[in-house]
Amino acid sequence: MLGKPKIAVVGAGMVGSSAALKMAQKELGDIVLVDVVEFVAEGKALDMAESSPLDGFDVALVGKTNDYSVIKDSDVVVITAGVPRKPGMTRMDLLMTNAGIVETISNHIRELAPNSIVIVVTNPLDVMTYVAWKVTGFPRERVMGQAGVLDSIRMRYFVAQELGVSVKDVQAMVLGSHGDQMVPLPRYTTVSGVPITELLLPETIERINDRTRKAGTEIVNLLKTGSAYYAPGAAVAEMVEAIVRDKKRLMPCSVLLKGEYGLNDVFIGVPVILGKNGVERIVELKLTEEELKALHQSAEEVRKGIADWEGEKAKAAS
């Protein structure tokens, strides 16, 4: 990426705007916001820009209502647009509504930003990432879903709280789909290099695992009228930073597997190396039989969602 990177965020709701502000504060590049709601993108971009003298960041922030021309030649496009979950809804309940939104956006990306790297945040995350990949026609290295990064930082926080240690010393690894079937890996979750299996009782670890799986739902139930946005926004910024600054970070992301972990043609969260080319390498961890089984079960949920979407597409075409 020569010069200052251009980052587009499609969807200026709470997740999109939180991500945009975080990226601006990190000076990751010039940022454009697009939203269908009249003047929301313009208003939020201006509000963020006006904070720059105090926050000390020097990047351009532009917002547009329903004008996709501003994403032209973007280096990275983040898709956050979609209907958020409400209490009692699962991520899969959102499937068909949000698939239509992601399809429209992906068509614009293919036409206007054909060399971009796409990060999908819209739920149900893994299925929506598959939709974006199918519609753009991009190679798998350039389309990914933000799943495990968010799930892992949530687990890191829960572990730190349980042990009374700094969050800076905790690393976590969460694989699988971004939903109730996600697969936290305590063996690969550490405090300054020490696995939490050496520091916590099995029942405590299982409680943390369960809270990690339900972390998004916990916030939805508390907020009543929306879903999480600060942590998802921070997770997006972390991924974009790894890409535009070629950090070669190892992060769990939802990517298309072609035989890795014994899975094919499905997007699921696994560890990858993120750099300037997007997904530069998929890392295959040595999983126990139980962990691998859980990952495959998680992938089956995603397959069902993909089949539902493709079935509706086939009906519409006939």
Residues carrying an active site annotation: 178
In angstroms, what CA-CA distances link 180 with 103, 176, 184? 25, 10, 11
* Nearest C-alpha neighbor of 62 from the set 49, 44, 45, 79: 45
Cα 106 to Cα 100: distance, rounded to the nearest angstrom: 10
DSSP string, 217-284: HHHHHHHSS----HHHHHHHHHHHHHHHTT--EEEEEEEEEESGGG-EEEEEEEEEEEETTEEEEE--
The CA-CA-CA angle for residues 74, 226, 83, to 5°, reads 50
Cα 33 to Cα 16: distance, rounded to the nearest angstrom: 8
| Residue for token pair 């305590």 | 186
The CA-CA-CA angle for residues 270, 273, 276, to 5°, reads 135
Q: Do the beta carbons of residue 192 and residue 168 sit within 8 Å?
A: no
DSSP string, 191-206: ETTEEGGGTS-HHHHH
Cα 261 to Cα 162: distance, rounded to the nearest angstrom: 31
Count of beta carbons in the 10 Å neighbourhood of residue 110: 16
Cα 151 to Cα 149: distance, rounded to the nearest angstrom: 6
